[in-house]
Amino acid sequence: MEEKTKTKDLEERTYKFAIDVIRIVNLFPQKTAAYILGKQIIRSGTSINSNIIHAKNSLSKKEFTYYLNNAKREAKETKSWLLMIVDSDLISLGKIQSLIDENEELIRILVASVKTSQNK
């Protein structure tokens, strides 16, 4: 039961994270680079949550671990996009620092969850 609760909490956090990513992208200036990077970060940032949902509804431990790994990869990709949008001056670090911090925390949680799942 505890694993189900943890997965539910992670599902809620990744959903909120996805919504926050979408809101940040909506603040981007109307430039070609902003449009392209915005599409990329929305894809990876929202995919974290969808992979958690797939993991939660998986039929086997192997499938569960597979989707957790996918979520972890998407979280790491999202980190790269977040840093890129700051470094390319599309948005200031101050506006997304809390999003970067949450992304880092999600990565740590997912890395630990994958390790735990693989060791069971």
9-25 pLDDT tens trace: 999 999 999 999 999 99
Q: What is the mean pLDDT of the chain?
A: 93
Q: What are the boundaries of each domain within the chain?
A: 2-119
| The CATH number of domain 2-119, selected from 1.10.357.10, 3.90.1310.10, 1.20.1440.60, 1.10.1040.10 | 1.20.1440.60
Q: 3 vs 53, which has greater pLDDT?
A: 53
In degrees and rounded to multiples of 5, residue 60 shows phi and psi of -150, 165
Phi, psi (rounded to 5 degrees) for 106? -60, -40
- Cα–Cα distances in Å, from 96 out to 7, 21, 82? 25, 9, 8
